[in-house]
A and B are shown apart, each in its own frame.
Chain A
Amino acid sequence: MQSISKSIPKRDHFPKISGRAKYVDDLQIEGLLHGKILRSSVACAEINEILIPDLPNGYFVIDKNDVPGVNSVHVVDDDTPVFSDGTVNYVGEAILMVAGRDLKVVNQILKQIKVIYHEKQPVLDMMKSDTIFYQYGYTKGDWESAFRDADKIIEEDFQTGYQEHVYMEVQGMIGSYENGKAIIRGTMQCPYYVHTAVKRAMGFESDKVQVIQEEMGGAFGGKEDYPSILGCQVAVAAYKTGKPVKVILDRNEDITCSPKRHPAKMHYRAAIKNGEVTGIDADVVYDCGAFTTLSPVVLQRGLICATGVYDFKNLRVRGKAVKTNTVPNGAFRGFGGPQTFFSIEMFMDHLAKEIGLDSVRLKERMVVKQGDDSATSGKYHFHVPFPAMIEKLDQISGFRKKRETFRHQTGRYRSGIGISLVYHGCGFTGSGERDLIKGVVKVVKNTDDTVELLTAGTDMGQGLKTVFAKIASDTLGIPLEQVIVQNPDTDRVPNSGPTAASRSLMVVGKLLQRAAEKLKQDWKPGEYQEVVEKYVHPDFMIPWDLSKFQGDPYPDYSWSANAVEVKVDTLTATTEIVGAWGVYDVGTPIDMAIIIGQMQGGFLQGIGYGSMELLGVNEKGVIRNNSFSDYIIPTSMDVPNLVTEVVENTYDNGPFGGKGAGELPAVGGAPAFVEAMENALGVNLHHTPFSQEDAMKVLEALKK
């Protein structure tokens, strides 16, 4: 283990664990008004009329007519309105806000408002949507010949469900308007996204918008795009009322209207010749919900991952992201990867059965290695440590022997073990880092020789402040206490880009390291110094061409091999997770405890996605389980001690050899769990979440 990997207490640990940390809802602000949003109760309608009661003094209704700039929230595209433009497109869409001193009165007013809808037939099934928001495709090799010459063609359909982030701290924001300036503070991953969006909605210049990130209680991607929407709403409310306005979603509201993981339907075909998989063809549909938000990039990543970690010489991948009258989906740890990775991993299991191999044998045989072309005709430029990882996984889980033991079981309890091999591409997809983000960091040395790191990077609990401080402290050779990292404020920090895409450590961390190196060379004790460092695109990358969907979408990849062992009770169809093991390559861990924490949390989230996290939308487009008693996530009682280990495979373009880590562990849990269920039940399975009820259906069918 390298010395930088040695764990230290996380910077947010003591404040959060002691309850001293102040979240946005804890802030005391003079003259604060409480805002609550009136949301659509129907999935698709024109609003004929809104009947608003007489408002008590000091209470306000804020709607689209109060937006001083453009009634649109910039995410990737601009179709999301700040407040309804006269139509509603999903249950939970914001129509207007009521704000005032007393939240009880605000809620009473909200109840008295009547919205007269002219309802239309909503589109709830993604396969019936005729609005395609985005569409991409690519091929490699001669896929047509592969299918034409095949001995056998196998076709299967796969499906993955929603997933809710379940961050502990719900979405919340405070907007104020002072001296011609909009100030937004709250829980958010990407202050500059909020800044850009608010600027546009308010019609203000850059220097008239200030965005401050407050302490954050989890995000998992769920606070990448939504804070831009809420940020615009509170900015408009503060502008109209002249008072600071706070909006904190309650949990049911948060589950109803904040983004989720995109549900997906995927059709896969494989060409088999002489016992080899000679071609693969994937057709993917992602359900965006009512607005586009981050969907183009989510779909891009999903398509890049569609053929997994395998070296298919001939392939075709096509996909579209379509509109439905449901809550807009967005970023979630893995960002489009878990859906297609689930499909390809399950498909490989099924293909192995067709060929007459154990799935791990087939996977091992086909896994990519350094120098191979990637699916998108880029290259795997660096060492791919799968052989060693699979060996390590076998050592800690004993999966090879167990697979044999678990064949042909009878009796009340049935065991199974499943394996998945996945990656997560590190950093923004495609040429985003070079063309869109162009990250900048600033390192300031104060006259007392303390050093402050100024970036837009946010700590949502993943440990960013801690690892940034370690990188600077180790590079400069100064004590950690001398390094200051504060929550970003756009008036102070340059735009180093969003905290997303497993990019912060690898990309922003590297910029900080370079800046620190320069500062060290030029260190003048007792003097104020500044170093600004700008993103440099790695020159080894094969340029990404989105129109062809070709090139290197990422400079490097993080890899993982996962095993999950289950025991199914055939009387109740309940499943005990007996063991779960993960081996990860995230480059050099910059802090081992943080990395292990990330790996375990992500793995658990992935297992939840595969097993019990079922979110249902009814025939009227209403999410029917928007509470914690009905949206079930795993507890610590539901998993054994997760065993997670890292192999060190340094990435030279990352700080101290580090690369992306945060999202990787959430990718492999679901396919490993569902394959374990296949192994236990002796059938092929095709969807997540694979629930108790699904297992009972299989068991009842087997009885017959």
Chain B
Amino acid sequence: MVAFSNGYLVDNLTEALKIRSEFEVTPYAGGTDLMVEAKDDAVYLFLNKIPELRRIYSDDEYIRIGAACTYTEIFENTLTPQILKDSIDYLAAPAIRNMGTAGGNICNASPKADTALIFYVADAKLRICSASGERILPIEDFYVGRGKTVLQRDELLVEILVPKFGLEHYYYKKVGARQALAISRVAFAGLFSTENGIITRFAMAFGSVADTILRFRDLEALFVGKTMTEAKSLRDDLIAKYDQAIVPIRGRVSADYRKSVCMNLLEDFLNQNGI
């Protein structure tokens, strides 16, 4: 461990968790969000030299992405699913992608987070560790609101567990104010799979429209297990239900604009999948 005037640099997870449990520290991975409004009195726990947080590997079920992996590292890894690569391709600009991390994107808890949207739609899980143990929870349970998560003050996000299967057939669109270095105004990700004419996977996530990323599992359930014909007959009903469920907040753009884009993309997602 090296102690700096503004924090601690450690090279293994055990030590990091020990410091996390003993001191009031701000976890610092890439710093691309933290440095925008750096606080003079902050004490940081620098995470970028911890091997356990820098790995990308897979097991039977999951691609496991270390929380301190940079966007560039994730983008360049052959295990990374294409939908995640697409989101990174539209994220900020190369300099930020070289420093910023997926863990930071999640823990910053912005509904605009580009990669968090993909983790949402993909049913990713988060592996969270503390000195006294670990827990794994679905990403949707991690968020409490804008900028708020259930991460305890002695915990660190260690890995993101992305399901290996069912991500091939996807739809992704980010709408920003420009082509690069853009905060998303609306982001949409959808997954769709069928087996023997039966819909096995139907998931949609909406970013930048509310305090957290939105998913409506009860509405998705209307399609799962249905035949294509059944889904087609339910299409108008589903659209009407989403139209009711999505209530965007106004921010840099109006709620009306966000709503129009969400509904247009949702319909296009259905169209593309023959519904």
Contact = CB atoms under 8 A, between A and B. Distances in A.
Interface in A384-404: none
A88 to B, nearest CB: 27
Contact of B265 (A571, A635, A636, A693): A571
B180 interface: yes
A282 B40 CA distance: 55
Interface stretch (A211-219, A501-509, A626-634): A626-634
Interface string B238-275: 00000000000000111011001100110010000000
A602 to B, nearest CB: 19
Contacts of B260: 573, 696, 699-700
A178 interface: no
A623 to B, nearest CB: 14
Contact of B261 (A625, A635, A696): A696
B175 interface: yes
B228 to A, nearest CB: 23
B26 interface: no
A638 B178 contact: yes
A574 interface: yes
Contact of A693 (B173, B178, B253, B264): B253
B183 interface: yes
Q: How large is the interface on A (under 10, 10 to 19, 20 to 34, 35 or more residues)?
A: 20 to 34
Nearest to B177: A632
A635 B254 contact: no
Nearest to B173: A572
A153 interface: no
A17 interface: no
B59 to A, nearest CB: 37
B180 A572 contact: no
Given A572-B261, A700-B260, A629 B183 contact: yes
Contacts, number: 54
A699 B260 CA distance: 10
A241 interface: no
A692 B184 CA distance: 13
A1 interface: no
Contacts of A571: 173, 261, 264-265, 268
A637 interface: yes
Interface string A557-574: 000000000000011111
A541 interface: no
Given A572-B173, A572-B186, A634 B178 contact: yes
Contacts of A700: 260
Nearest to A574: B175
A638 B261 contact: no
Contact of B180 (A573, A574, A638, A696): A638
Contacts of A104: 40
Contact of B257 (A412, A576, A637, A692): A692
A654 B256 CA distance: 54
B268 A612 contact: no
Interface in B161-184: 173, 175, 177-183
Interface residues of B, number: 23
Interface in B82-127: 93
Contacts of A638: 178-180
A626 to B, nearest CB: 13
Contacts of B186: 572
Contacts of B93: 635
B114 to A, nearest CB: 14
A488 B183 CA distance: 42
A176 B63 CA distance: 62
A612 B177 contact: yes
Interface string A519-546: 0000000000000000000000000000
Contacts of A632: 177-178, 182
A599 B257 CA distance: 34
Nearest to A624: B252
Given A629-B183, A696-B261, A572 B253 contact: no
Among the interface residues A612, A630, A696, A699, which one has the most CB atoms of the partner chain B within 10 A?
A696
Given A630-B252, A696-B257, A572 B177 contact: no
A576 B268 CA distance: 19
A572 B178 contact: no
B180 A635 contact: yes
B249 to A, nearest CB: 15
A692 B261 CA distance: 11
Pick from A612, A625, A630, A637 the residue with the most CB of B within 10 Å: A637
Given A696-B261, A700-B260, A635 B179 contact: yes
Given A630-B252, A693-B257, A696-B260, A572 B179 contact: no
B264 A572 contact: yes
A692 B254 CA distance: 11
Interface string A590-620: 0000000000000000000000100000000
Given A572-B175, A630-B252, A693-B253, A635 B264 contact: no
Contacts of B175: 572, 574, 692
A567 to B, nearest CB: 13
Contacts of A629: 183
Contact of A637 (B177, B178, B185, B261): B178
B204 to A, nearest CB: 15
A412 B256 CA distance: 20
A693 B180 contact: no
B85 to A, nearest CB: 17
A623 B173 CA distance: 31
A573 B253 CA distance: 13
Nearest to A611: B178
Nearest to B260: A696
A637 B180 CA distance: 6
A630 B181 CA distance: 11
Interface in A689-704: 692-693, 696, 699-700
A574 B179 CA distance: 10
Nearest to B36: A629
Interface in A421-444: none
A356 B254 CA distance: 37
Contacts of B180: 635-638
Nearest to A694: B257
B89 to A, nearest CB: 11
Given A571-B265, A572-B261, A572-B264, A692 B253 contact: yes
A296 B193 CA distance: 65
A612 B180 CA distance: 13
Contacts of B185: 692
B179 A693 contact: no
Nearest to B261: A572
A666 to B, nearest CB: 19
Given A632-B178, A638-B178, A572 B265 contact: yes
B209 to A, nearest CB: 13
A635 B268 contact: no
Interface string B47-91: 000000000000000000000000000000000000000000000
Contacts of B178: 612, 632, 634-635, 637-638
B8 to A, nearest CB: 24
A322 to B, nearest CB: 29
A573 B261 contact: yes
Contacts of B256: 696
The 9 closest A-B pairs by CB, nearest first: A637-B180, A637-B179, A571-B264, A632-B177, A572-B175, A693-B257, A635-B180, A638-B179, A638-B178
Given A625-B252, A635-B181, A692-B175, 6 more contacts: A570-B264, A571-B173, A571-B264, A571-B268, A636-B180, A693-B254
30 contacts: A412-B268, A570-B264, A571-B173, A571-B264, A571-B265, A571-B268, A572-B264, A573-B260, A573-B261, A612-B177, A625-B252, A629-B183, A630-B252, A632-B177, A632-B182, A634-B178, A635-B93, A635-B180, A635-B181, A637-B178, A637-B180, A638-B179, A692-B177, A692-B253, A692-B257, A693-B257, A696-B256, A696-B257, A696-B260, A699-B260
Interface of A: 104, 412, 570-574, 576, 612, 625, 629-630, 632, 634-638, 692-693, 696, 699-700
